[in-house]
Amino acid sequence: MIEVKDLNVDSLQCTITFVYEDQQTDSKILERLKSKKVFEGKSEQIFYRTTNDLNYEIFVGLGKYEELERNDFVNAIAKAMKQAEKLNVDNLGIYFIKVKELCTGATTKAIVEGVKLSGYKFSKYNKGKESYNPYVTILGAPKEKAGKMVEKIAEASNVIDGVILARDLVNEPANILYPETLAERAALVGKESGFEVEILDKNEIEKLGMKAFLEVAKGSIHEPKLIVMRYMGNPKNNEKIGLVGKGLTFDTGGYSLKPSTSMDTMKSDMGGAAAVIGTMQALAKNKVQKNVIAVVAACENAISGGSYKPGDIIGSMAGKNIEVLNTDAEGRLTLVDAITYIIEKENVEKIVDVATLTGAVLVALGTEITGVISNNDDFYDELLVAGKRSGEKFWRLPNDKCFKKLYKGDFAELKNTGGRNAGTITAGMFIEEFVQDKPWLHLDIAGTSWTDNGNDCTPKGGTGAPVKTLYELVVKHVCKHSK
């Protein structure tokens, strides 16, 4: 639990104080530490001591005031929380501090993020790794802002819970989480959070003509599920935004088989699905006054005598024929049918698809920046604003018509891969062929949805990206109109 309160610090087991390297403080202890160069407030520097009451004081360096960015602050909070966890503290206070370019509300949300994400552990199958959830009080906050801060704590907590849900879904092994059980999880989340979930089975998917989706799914013993989530937060308004998440609960690569060293993390190939489910939970819990439809085409890409093969020509819900050159380029096939569905059956005005789509995006952008393809400058600009608010980073790649020749088919209208060159771009542009000129964003999260190294905010495994940004992208108009 996190709250804002003025109380006697003697009642707390620990206090956390943030210190700028280039600012003086009123604390004689801190000034003495600085003068002796024991603790100078430098970025990522941390120091703790025991007080006379046998409690703890943790000091965390933020570096120079002008250089501190939002994510640096979140990471500093997480580092302090990790230290408190090592000290077995379960009741602590965090002193509020001014952060450049962050208002009081944004600073409060950053504190919530650092506190909650630093304590996250996927401990379901490892009973010795329990999540760390101490009682936290924000101290020294502006009294006139206390009411607003309480609201921001509640909002941010629900958003970060959405991130944690996405992490949990990604971290589940594929023998536990497959299309049917993913659909069941989504239905449970909808029931608990307040949005409608409809699950379509194989027969219903066939009736819709989702041929590309079914081709990918047919090699697995687990039947596909189309998961449709509807949150109507503003029923007086007909405008609806659509979120489409790639839902490959496991991807072997099919007959274009992945090497074993690339397959052990393929339970994470439904990171896009996890992100949109987590976003829907956050929107519903915060009662955001927007209408959002989310669709996940959930399946496994497995190998059997019935699997689709390189050289096959397959159909799609949109009526376009596709030449299959690589069965490991399967995510785009499921996405295009889901996008056709969300346009033609759910009547959305804008579309964001989120997918762990290409290894090429890691080569281009690494693990901290999500690659973007878009057909609409204004919509992309809205994404950048949302990313600035969330702390998640994005980079737009070109979708120039010169790339179209790479994925034009020889024996069908399209082929499902454009080859090695510009792999992230051609994968996104292949999807663009099905968006029917709707404002559209394609987010390739293959690099950002999973981490092998981990840090104070994110242990090894699913990251929950980009739940925070999707949430901010949806609520932006509400914020604008409510001022």
List C-alpha distances in Å: 436 to 4, 17, 343, 375.
Answer: 48, 53, 8, 11
Kindly state the greatest CA–CA separation across the chain: 80
Residue type present at position 442: H
423 CB neighbour count, 10 Å cutoff: 21
Pairing of strands 225-232, 291-301: antiparallel
Contact criterion met (CB below 8 Å) for 443 and 391: no
Phi, psi of 336 (to 5 degrees): -65, -35
Cα 351-357-361 angle, rounded to 5 deg: 105
SS3 for 229-243 is EEEECCCCCCCCEEE
Report the alpha-carbon distance of residue 402 to residue 112 in Å, rounded: 45
In this structure, is the dihedral angle defined by the CA atoms of residues 21, 24, 25 and 27, taken in order, positive or negative?
positive
Report the alpha-carbon distance of residue 226 to residue 346 in Å, rounded: 13
- The answer to whether 330 is annotated as binding is yes
Contact criterion met (CB below 8 Å) for 438 and 350: yes
Helix (H) or strand (E) holding 394: strand 393-396
Please list the active-site residues.
258, 332
Contact criterion met (CB below 8 Å) for 399 and 428: yes
364 CB neighbour count, 10 Å cutoff: 17
Query: Burial code of 281-313, b = ≥16 C-beta within 10 A, e = fewer?
Result: bbbbbbebbbbbbbbbbbbbbbeeeebbebebe
- The answer to whether 269 is annotated as binding is yes
Judged by DSSP in three states, 426 sits in helix
List beta partners, residue 441. 352, 374
Q: List the alpha helices (DSSP H) in 119-254.
A: 146-171, 179-193, 202-207, 211-217
Annotated binding site: 246, 251, 269, 328, 330
Annotated binding site for Mn(2+): 246, 251, 269, 328, 330
